[in-house]
Amino acid sequence: MGVAGLAIGLTLTVIHLVAIPISNTSVNPARSTAVAFFNGDGAPAQLWVFWLAPLIGGAIAGIAYPFLFGRAEDDAHQHASA
């Protein structure tokens, strides 16, 4: 339970260690937006991906969570109240 922050931090570290040398990547949509307008390579036209992908991922996670983890809790509550 208490290692979620560590797992997230290590995942971001790996993403940065792998991707920054290859493409100077950014995994933060706000940072990507800030620097995109100073880049002359058409970066502003690609910003929609940095904003839309996290929103879609969050929506998918919100929909999938009850199916993956919520059913057992519902069953436990029904058995406890019976």
What is residue 3's three-state secondary structure? coil
- For residue 25, the Cα-to-chain-centroid distance in whole angstroms is 15
pLDDT digits (tens, 9 = 90+) for 20-69: 888 777 778 888 888 888 877 777 888 888 889 889 999 999 999 999 98
Q: How far is CA 77 from CA 7, 68, 72, 73, in A?
A: 30, 17, 9, 6
**Domain-by-domain residue ranges, the chain?**
4-81
Residues 6+ apart with CB under 8 A from 43: 35, 36, 37
What is the spatial distance between Cα 56 and Cα 59, in angstroms, rounded to a whole number?
5
For residue 81, the model assigns a pLDDT of 63
